[in-house]
Amino acid sequence: MIESTNKEYDIVIAGGGMIGASLALALSPLGLRIAVVEAVARGEALQPSFDDRSTALSRSTQRMFEAMGLWDDVISAATPIRRIHVSDRGRFGFSHIDAAEQGVEALGYVVINRVLGNVLQSALVKSETVDVICPARVVDIDVGGDLASARIERDRGHDQELAGQLLVAADGANSALRPMLGICAKKTDYGQHAVIGNLLPEKPLHNCAYERFTDQGPLALLPVADDRAAFVWTVSSSDADRVLGLDDETFLAELQEAFGYRLGRLSRVGERAAYPLSLSKALRLTAERAVLVGNSAHGLHPVAAQGFNLGMRDVAALCDCIADARSTDPAADVGDPGLLDRYAQWRRDDQGKLVRITDGIVRLFGSSSPPLRAARNVGMLGFDIIPGVRSLFARHMMGLAGRLPRLSRGVPLK
Tell me the mean pLDDT in the region 249-262.
96
**For residue 379, what pLDDT is reported?**
58
Distance CA 181, CA 279 (A): 21
What is the model's pTM?
Answer: 0.92
Distance CA 214, CA 141 (A): 45
User: Residue 276: beta bridge partners?
Assistant: 193
**For residue 88, what pLDDT is reported?**
81
pLDDT of 20 strictly over 50: yes
Q: What percent of the chain has pLDDT over 90?
A: 74
Q: What percent of the chain has pLDDT over 70?
A: 89
**For residue 253, what pLDDT is reported?**
98
Do 37 and 152 touch, CB atoms closer than 8 A? Answer: yes
Tell me the mean pLDDT in the region 6-30.
94
User: Residue 95: beta bridge partners?
Assistant: 86
**For residue 383, what pLDDT is reported?**
57
**What pLDDT digit, counting tens, does each position of 129-176 carry?**
999 999 999 999 999 889 999 999 987 667 899 999 999 999 999 999
Q: Which residue has the higher pLDDT, 208 or 50?
A: 208
Distance CA 109, CA 139 (A): 37
For 119-123, 141-145, 384-388, which range has the lowest pLDDT when averaged over its residues?
Answer: 384-388
**What pLDDT digit, counting tens, does each position of 75-112 carry?**
998 999 999 998 887 565 568 889 999 999 999 999 99
Q: Which residue has the higher pLDDT, 216 or 312?
A: 312
Q: Which candidate, 119, 108, 105, places its Cα nearest to that of 76?
A: 119
Distance CA 414, CA 330 (A): 13
**For residue 365, what pLDDT is reported?**
74
Distance CA 402, CA 322 (A): 20
Q: How many CB atoms within 10 Å of residue 75?
A: 17
**For residue 3, what pLDDT is reported?**
40
Tell me the mean pLDDT in the region 102-130.
93
**Residue ranges of domains in the chain, CATH in brackets:** 8-78+113-186+280-371+402-409 (3.50.50.60)
Assign 357 a pLDDT band (cuts: 50, 70, 90). Answer: confident
**What pLDDT digit, counting tens, does each position of 399-413 carry?**
998 899 999 999 999
What end-to-end distance do the CA atoms of the chain give, in Å? 21
pLDDT of 277 strictly over 60: yes
Query: Mean pLDDT in the chain?
Result: 90
Distance CA 31, CA 55 (A): 30
**For residue 216, what pLDDT is reported?**
84
pLDDT of 236 strictly over 50: yes
pLDDT of 336 strictly over 80: yes
Assign 350 a pLDDT band (cuts: 50, 70, 90). Answer: very high
**For residue 53, what pLDDT is reported?**
80
